[in-house]
Amino acid sequence: MKLATVGSVAFDAIETPFGKTDKIVGGAGTYIALASSFFVKQQSLISVVGEDFPQEVLAELESKGVDISGVEIKHGEKTFFWSGRYHNDLNSRDTLVTELNVLADFKPVVPAQAQNAPFLMLGNLSPDVQLSVIQQMQQRPQLIAMDTMNFWMDIALDSLKETLKHIDVLIINDEEARQLSGVYSLRKAANIIREMGPSILIIKKGEHGALLFHESNMFYAPALPLEEVFDPTGAGDTFAGGFMGYLAAADRIDFDNMKRAIIAGSALASFCVEKFGTQRLKEVTHPELQARMQEFVSLSTFQL
Ligand code: AMP
């Protein structure tokens, strides 16, 4: 198993200026696994769903090389449900409903075949739950990445700081980086956050791309300006899944590969937002992905 991911598998109901959905399949773990499956043929997803979750969706993940033996199905219980409404700019959203259901007392169990995975992705969950997954690994993975959000900074800062000591890559947005570091300059924030544990920091800036910091190196990846953004849900998770999947497949974690991995994540995220939920991500072909990665090259190379 190249990559192990822990993250939510969920039902989402989404409202954007272009329309709304009934309950559709979402969840950070779902987006991460779908995105990384473009690069990694053997990966494990660790999550929990209720008995209301469609078996076909799990089977579809399995068909893409995702081992789902770590996805617990809780009989008599309901799947995590999240609902959000995007504002007209599509950059901000309000959470309308969060029904934790099976996620309320989620205690992930890493299956034996995933305990030696060299790459570990911790989707946005409580920092204690994220740490419990690291502790179940038989040997320290080569690369541990994690996502988090301001909610955990507000209610569980001490636990978050403890988990940060055990990881290599933190993937957060600019607002979260400012809150975690207490400073406005993202360059200063990057130094402060990297002193907390992760040697690599990725700061996502939504439609303005992402910054990568490692040692004294810095890289800026643009986001592809799209004619239409339909639904941004899961774009951050898709980015993280693409990044980790690319690195796990390349098996070399140098700065140049990290740059390529960021472009892979950005390209997949640019597809993700083109339709509601996971729909577009499931249709993308490898040639389409290659072509879009090439667009990023054209977008940002120049000669002096
Ligand atoms: P993103 O748009 O990248 O922030 O991710 C959205 C996904 O995160 C949705 O598919 C939700 O199901 C999932 N999600 C929302 N809130 C939570 C939460 N509190 N814990 C875990 N997953 C969540």
Q: Give the tens place of pLDDT for each residue, 150-206.
A: 999 999 999 999 999 999 999 999 999 999 999 999 999 999 999 999 999 999 998
Would you identify the CATH topology of the domain 3-300? Answer: UDP-N-acetylmuramoyl-L-alanine:D-glutamate ligase (3.40.1190)
Considering only CA atoms, which residue is closest to atom 21 of ligand 1? 8
Task: Write the DSSP string, 223-281.
Answer: PPPPS-----TTHHHHHHHHHHHHHHHH----HHHHHHHHHHHHHHHHHHTTSSTTHHH
Considering only CA atoms, which residue is closest to atom 15 of ligand 1? 82
Task: State the distance from the centre of ligand 1 to the C-alpha of 238, rounded, in angstroms.
Answer: 11
Confidence of residue 303 (pLDDT cuts 50, 70, 90): very high
Which helix or strand (DSSP H or E) is residue 67 part of?
strand 66-74
Choice from 12, 25, 82, 175 to test ligand 1 binding pocket (greatest atom count within 8 A of CB) = 82
Assess whether pLDDT exceeds 90 at residue 273.
yes
Smallest CA-to-CA distance from 119 within 221, 222, 249 is with 249
Confidence of residue 5 (pLDDT cuts 50, 70, 90): very high
Give the C-alpha separation, 153 to 291, whole Å. Answer: 38
Task: State the distance from the centre of ligand 1 to the C-alpha of 239, rounded, in angstroms.
Answer: 14
The Cβ of residue 205 has, within 10 Å, a number of other Cβ atoms equal to 17
Contacts of 161 (CB under 8 A, 6+ apart): 196, 197
Structure-block tokens of residue 223: 């986001």
| Ligand 1: lining residues by beta carbon, under 6 Å | 8, 10, 12, 26-28, 82, 98, 124-125, 233-237
Q: At what angle do helices 157-164 and 127-135 cross, to 10 degrees?
A: 30
Question: What's the average model confidence in pLDDT over 111-134?
Answer: 98
pLDDT, tens only, 81-113? 999 999 988 888 999 999 999 999 999 999 999
Task: Write the DSSP string, 160-191.
Answer: HHHHHTT-SEEEEEHHHHHHHHS-S-HHHHHH
Assess whether pLDDT exceeds 90 at residue 268.
yes
Give the C-alpha separation, 167 to 161, whole Å. Answer: 11
- Per-residue confidence (pLDDT) for residue 251, from 0 to 100: 76
Structure-block tokens of residue 278: 């996971």
Give the CB-side neighbour count of residue 164, counting CA atoms within 13 A: 25
- Per-residue confidence (pLDDT) for residue 89, from 0 to 100: 87
Task: State the distance from the centre of ligand 1 to the C-alpha of 145, rounded, in angstroms.
Answer: 17
The CA angle 242-243-249, to the nearest 5 degrees, is: 85
- The values of phi and psi at residue 46, to 5°, are -115, 120
Smallest CA-to-CA distance from 45 within 93, 2, 83 is with 2
- The values of phi and psi at residue 213, to 5°, are -120, 130
Considering only CA atoms, which residue is closest to atom 18 of ligand 1? 125
Which is more confidently placed, 66 or 223?
Answer: 66
Q: What is the pTM of this model?
A: 0.96
Assess whether pLDDT exceeds 90 at residue 145.
yes
**Per-chain mean pLDDT for the chain:** 96
Considering only CA atoms, which residue is closest to atom 10 of ligand 1? 27
